[in-house]
Structure 1
Amino acid sequence: MDSDGTRDTRGTHANPVPRPAGPQDGGGMPAEAAPAVPPRPTAPPTMPPLPDGSAFLGWLRTPRPETVPGVWRFGYKPRPEQEPDQVPARQLLSGALIAFLVGWLVWSLLQNGYLGAWWWVPFDLIVPDAWRGPHSSLGEVGGLIVYGGYKLLVALLIAVVVGKLGRWGEVWRRYGPPAWNRAAPTPERPPAPEQDPAEFLYLRQAGASDAADRLAGDARTGLMRDVDHARIARAWQGVRSGRHSMATFTAAVVKDGAAACLHPSGERDLPARHAQHDMVTGQVRLGTTADDPRNPYQYRGTGLALDPDLLGTSLLAVGPAGSGKTGSLVRPLAESLCLHALAGRASVVVVGAAGAGLGPADAYDVVVRIAHPESVYDLDLYGGTTDPDEAAAILAEALAGDLADPHPGSDSRRSTTVLAQLIGPFKAVHGRFPSVPELRRLLDGAPGPLAALRKALTDTGHESLLRELDARERQMGHPGDVGAVLADRIALLDRPAFAGFFDTSGSSRPFSLKALDHPVRVRIDLPERGHADASRILARLVLAQFTASVTVRDDRSLFSCLLLDDATGVVTPEAVRGIQRLRSANAGVALTLRTLDDVPRPLRSPLLGAAGCRMAFSGLTPWDGQDFAEVWGKEWIEARDVTDRQIIAETPAGKALHVVRRVITGKAATARAVTVRQVERERWSASELAHGVPPGHAVLSLTTVKGEHAPPLLVDLRGGGRV
């Protein structure tokens, strides 16, 4: 619905699906019909593929109540805001039994007259004299009813008192029929037609009844899946916003049903799913929030999920190798964003080392395998821009952005100036940007290339650009010239392994991040083995191109996200500033680090402040934990200082009373002094983060783009989000 095939970026699909172009106002609705029954996609774990469509309808009708950020909303049942003060089961049952025995004893004593006749005083005050005695005017039956009714009233009063003392009501709620009803599954009733989401009421209310009938039929017969539902809802948003015509949308839906408004790749689902997804809320489940006192009560035992509203504030995850950052976080997020891309909601770029397990190649439209001879796509070194100054700024960030602090003379502004002095004249002469070998020769300052460029500028009538070369030649003689640093860095990309990449002549198929205006799925494999420094340069390049591209998009309704598995050496001052700008551009990044030591000390606090979602995995070092403890801050808690002094009974009656009390409460008789005060305590201390997070767990804090917060939560990631 967001792309009609005529506006897609060239060469952004590894296996492009031939399709005719549709009308401009129709979005991704092809003019020709899609296959009537496409191959059935792999179903999400909550929605097995049944031919009658009951699984899809059950999934669609499952309640998803609004709740606090990060809670898995699919089938969620809200909990009380305050934790109930529950009495231990042994104490509760023993107290109830003893209260019953005490009440029965009091009633027996009253019946046998051992407590005197004082309990008949209220009866004498309210009953006329003619009703009392053996000659009562009520007769034998009436007198029996009056006297029996009074005894029953006294018995009920005793039962109420001892029931209150013995907590009989709580016993009933915890172990009686109310508890049985909660445990027994409640049969689900189909919703009323006016409340059934499977009836596509928003289409009927807008007058598109034919489209609603076609979609409802496909849903009932099993031809629709969760991605189809999300994709059509996204297409309808385009109609409501005025970007597309309602007539074209209705015609496409009536014609193709659940297969309407397809993604440009023609795919309706991923080859396989690794995690649990809910395409209605856009969430992906990562695990389960631990039932731990340090977690707020409303979060304990609930599913923990992320969605674009949270990723829009960016995410930083830190943990040692093997802690599960890739398998438990990056891959589920990549899978979720790829599903959103198929639904026309998002574009995603996943960057990691080759073989890192970021999903199969079939799950992506573009796979750039740098330094691999069989790679179908190349990476555009200049980010698809035609402006020499912008190209110089992006490339300078990649080459020398990490040198800004240790080397004041090598800051990114001077690097940008040096590159612009060479890139601008070269493009004016050749109509393209220089390749890696050509740029290296220019940065080395060899007389031959500079003289040839000077002559070409003169021959083509660009004498005004000679001043750029003159300035470059003057700076080369200075000891602190940044050109030598840039030449050393670009030499890391001028290796035989990269000979077929970063081509600027037009003979290859370069991928540019300018394509993020469309719902494209991209995976970039970095050559970690033997080229660690080059991989860091390329990772900085991709991050710089991403922040530069998404912040200048005209249509920001499409969420864009960059997932960077292992951001070692990537965080620079300019990168932190770029991350801070992403929230307003409906974009975000997710970065993983083995340790915060991989980030320069002056940038650690700004990086933690720029990321709205922060995640500390098990095995964190104490000094890394200290940084997280500082950014998570402190909270006011109620500290109770309790002093107990055992009471020694001296009389037999006192000892017997102490025994009864011990049976009911499970504790010895004590005199207790309680002091309550408000104290400020760290939410998670550095020691707790380093030593108190179990294996397979992580501590995660969340912030939505609307500013809602979730405190640091202990989350169990062991298989909680996997199929």
Structure 2
Amino acid sequence: MPHQRPHRPTGAAGPAFDLSAWVAAPRPEAAPGIYRQGYRQIDPDRAEAGRVPTWPLLLRAVLNAVVGWFAYLYGTQLLTYVLVWFGGQTGIGPLAEPSESEAMLTLLVVNAVVLAVVIKVFGRMGRWPEVWRRYVAPLLSRTVTQEAPAADAEVAEAAARSADPWVVLRAGGAGVAAGRLDGEAVGDIDYVRIRQAWESAQADPVFVLAFVAQVAARGAAAFAHPSEVRELPGRDEQHDLLLRQVRLGTTQDVPKNPLTHRAAGFALDPAVLGTSLLAVGPAGTGKTARLARPVAEALCLQALAGTACAVVIGSAEADLGPDAWYDVVIAPGDPGSAYGLDLYGAARDPDEAAARLAEALLPDELTARAESARTALQQVVGPFHAAYGRYPGVRELRALLGGETEALGALAKALGTAGRLALYERDLAHRERQRGRADDPGALLADRLALLDRPAFEGAFATDGTGRPPFAMRVLDHPLRVRVKLPERGHPEAARMLSRLVVGQFVQAAGVREDRSLFAGLVVDDVSAALDAHTVRGLQRMRGANAGAVLLLRTLVDLPEALRAPLFGAVGCRMAFPGIAPWDGRLFSEAWGTHLVRETAVTHTPDTSGGLLRRAGRLGRKALSGTTAQTESVTTREVERLRWSPSDLAHALPAGHAVVSLTAVSGEQVPPLLVDLRD
């Protein structure tokens, strides 16, 4: 199917947006992973027939036609002779001595019977119906009737169809609103957003009146995103916001791919992203440019349409779209950043907030001490929150974990003033006893927090209102577009901690949302430092929370070995890029399993059949040619083979391609597909 660029709203780069044609474009039901706009379902029988090359097909048809012609000529004579002989033997009048009219009728019947048998037998062997569909019918359509062939006619009809995009509004009593929109330049984002508002207004007639008033006053800008942005600058991917799909490439026409997906556009949407996607491939294979950026763009467009919220995490240098795509850009380490980050995710429970922060602060090699680290952090975060009504900042938290006498004394005094000292006195006493011990987890956490207590991060994590406005992950029930730029170049270990913290907060917040009408999408450009056991378990819970993640990884070796198999089990979609290591390919191969294939084995054995004369002939042939006469035995059987072997994934994938398997939230699965991401 040809790749067509998307329509553009008026005022954007490219041609004007034809709303009527876009709404009326065919979108048939299809399996997950198929870009449905303009998709035409494939008849399996025709598809298999279409695999026969042109010249062998035509040659076989002509040979069968010639043989069939002679069979018809001699068949009519033979059948006539048989009927005459049979009439003479039995004495049946019409056959023995027929009149002129009876003879004519008999000849017609004989010709019709023989012709029907010839067409039936030789037409099937020569595939005449397929020749008619592929070559004769289109030729006749162009030369005789001057009409387009059937396939072209369908495309032309779909392109020529014009529909009233606001017919639902007119039928529902919002004709005034529809009339206002008829005179406006409405883009695909505007259409989806207004239609979404109309569907919500159906709950109460009062809402319908408010809807009409809003559209009559603002036109296509009605119900706009809080940022008042109605289009993304530099938008260059193909999207169908009506189905919330983003087209990433073309599924290749190869035997390994299912017949329904061959040569069809490959697309992702919330139905499959809701099970989360893991993509593995070395640097430079296109993971960011051909997967992360298009998905981030799609989520941002859906956020402007009021159907999703997006959180995109990557290094400051990663090309995940310009800052203008996002409402909130968090760049710790950049003094020009307008927003900071809430280290506690605005959690209402201090113990919960402390637990997530402790897991983010610990390095992978010290995860065994996670429980004691969580306890130590809870022993100071809880009392501080009770005393001051807020969470401690980085410097305050570092002082408390380090056991500074002045900081602990000030906290005890504040608790006494608030009347909460008795409740938290045991926690403070335990912290005091742990101070100075070799196994004190507080000292370890204080050392890790020192990485965030740098001048470059001044004001980025403030909790007392003196720094930048902190972004909290609790706002996932709003159509926000958030970009987190990690300082991987200047502060790599701090970037690791922040990525783990933000991803953990997203997974936690997405699972406890009360309003799940928006799809919460997460894109992580490099997830090697962002995962722990708690986050991996949370990925599975997001399936039922209308949320999902796209996780990019250079190699599975970057993850702790204990996380690799659980991560593969937690995600529903898996994607392998060219050049992955064989040990990475082994996990993909095992996850995708085996399937039955038809295998043909040919065996050659010396020919020992026949009598003395045949044996003598074979001896003479061997003496003259030097070759031994052999018999050929062909055996066909069905055997189980890996869908994609580790060697194929590591060495046989072409550049610009990927192998991807999908699982929809509904449970429907698509086996691995070879996709060309450049088309």
What are the within-5 Å matches in structure 2 for residues 177-192 of structure 1? 177-178=137-138, 181-182=149-150, 184-186=152-154, 188-189=156-157
Distance 1:107 1:367, change over 3 A: closer
Distance 1:244 1:79, change over 3 A: farther
1:84 aligns with 2:48: yes
Name the structure 2 match of 1:93. Answer: 58
Shift of 1:542: 0.6
Asked if the contact 1:46/1:59 (under 8 Å) is kept, the reply is: no
Distance 1:250 1:190, change over 3 A: farther
Name the structure 1 match of 2:287. Answer: 325
Aligned counterparts of 2:574 and 2:275: Cα–Cα separation in 1: 10
Name the structure 2 match of 1:359. Answer: 321
Aligned counterparts of 2:282 and 2:247: Cα–Cα separation in 1: 22
Aligned counterparts of 1:474 and 1:287: Cα–Cα separation in 2: 61
Aligned counterparts of 1:414 and 1:707: Cα–Cα separation in 2: 39
Shift of 1:238: 2.2
What are the within-5 Å matches in structure 2 for residues 339-354 of structure 1? 339-354=301-316
| Secondary structure in 2 matching 1:176 | helix
Aligned counterparts of 1:683 and 1:118: Cα–Cα separation in 2: 55
Name the structure 2 match of 1:269. Answer: 231
Aligned counterparts of 1:154 and 1:70: Cα–Cα separation in 2: 50
| Secondary structure in 1 matching 2:48 | coil
Asked if the contact 2:252/2:263 (under 8 Å) is kept, the reply is: yes
What are the within-5 Å matches in structure 2 for residues 452-471 of structure 1? 452-464=410-422, 465-471=424-430
For residues 234-255 of structure 1, the C-alpha deviation after alignment (integer angstroms, 9 at most, x for no partner) is 2123224569822211221233
Distance 1:704 1:105, change over 3 A: closer
Name the structure 2 match of 1:540. Answer: 500
- Counterpart of 1:227 (choices 170, 189, 196) is 189
Which amino acid in the other structure matches residue 293 of structure 1?
Answer: P
Question: TM-score, with normalisation over the residues of structure 2?
Answer: 0.86
Question: TM-score, with normalisation over the residues of structure 1?
Answer: 0.81
Shift of 1:643: 4.4
| Secondary structure in 1 matching 2:550 | strand
| Secondary structure in 1 matching 2:489 | coil
What are the within-5 Å matches in structure 2 for residues 636-675 of structure 1? 636-643=596-603, 673-675=633-635
Kindly tell me the number of residue pairs found equivalent between the two proteins. Answer: 640
Aligned counterparts of 1:567 and 1:385: Cα–Cα separation in 2: 23
Asked if the contact 1:103/1:158 (under 8 Å) is kept, the reply is: no
1:497 aligns with 2:460: no
| Secondary structure in 2 matching 1:517 | coil
| Secondary structure in 2 matching 1:98 | helix
1:198 aligns with 2:164: yes
What are the within-5 Å matches in structure 2 for residues 68-467 of structure 1? 68-81=31-44, 84-85=48-49, 86-105=51-70, 119-122=80-83, 138=100, 149=108, 152-153=111-112, 156=115, 159-160=118-119, 161-178=121-138, 181-182=149-150, 184-186=152-154, 188-189=156-157, 198-215=164-181, 217-218=182-183, 223-240=185-202, 245-400=207-362, 402-403=363-364, 406-407=365-366, 409-411=368-370, 413-464=371-422, 465-467=424-426
For residues 405-432 of structure 1, the C-alpha deviation after alignment (integer angstroms, 9 at most, x for no partner) is x446511x32221111112222333332
Shift of 1:706: 1.0
- Counterpart of 1:66 (choices 29, 49, 53) is 29
Distance 1:155 1:553, change over 3 A: closer
Name the structure 1 match of 2:592. Answer: 632
For residues 12-32 of structure 1, the C-alpha deviation after alignment (integer angstroms, 9 at most, x for no partner) is xxxxxxxxxxxxxxxxxxxxx
1:623 aligns with 2:608: no
For residues 210-239 of structure 1, the C-alpha deviation after alignment (integer angstroms, 9 at most, x for no partner) is 334444x24xxx611110111012212322
| Secondary structure in 2 matching 1:245 | helix
| Secondary structure in 1 matching 2:225 | coil
Which amino acid in the other structure matches residue 305 of structure 2?
Answer: A
Asked if the contact 2:8/2:17 (under 8 Å) is kept, the reply is: no
Aligned counterparts of 2:157 and 2:67: Cα–Cα separation in 1: 47
Aligned counterparts of 2:415 and 2:78: Cα–Cα separation in 1: 123
Shift of 1:496: 1.8
- The worse-fitting range, judged by mean Cα deviation, of 675-684 and 602-611 is 675-684
Name the structure 2 match of 1:686. Answer: 646
Shift of 1:94: 2.6
Shift of 1:629: 1.3
Shift of 1:329: 0.5
Distance 1:174 1:423, change over 3 A: same
Which amino acid in the other structure matches residue 528 of structure 1?
Answer: E
Shift of 1:370: 1.4
- Counterpart of 2:509 (choices 525, 529, 549) is 549
Shift of 1:325: 0.8
Distance 1:232 1:172, change over 3 A: same
Identity over aligned pairs, percent: 47
Distance 1:72 1:206, change over 3 A: same
Could you list the runs of 5+ residues in structure 2 that have no partner in the other structure?
142-148, 611-628
Aligned counterparts of 2:438 and 2:79: Cα–Cα separation in 1: 110
Which amino acid in the other structure matches residue 638 of structure 2?
Answer: Q
Which amino acid in the other structure matches residue 520 of structure 1?
Answer: L
For residues 455-501 of structure 1, the C-alpha deviation after alignment (integer angstroms, 9 at most, x for no partner) is 44345433222221101122234432221221121111111211231
For residues 555-598 of structure 1, the C-alpha deviation after alignment (integer angstroms, 9 at most, x for no partner) is 11111111111012111011112212211111111111111111
Distance 1:453 1:518, change over 3 A: same
Distance 1:672 1:178, change over 3 A: farther
Asked if the contact 2:10/2:187 (under 8 Å) is kept, the reply is: no
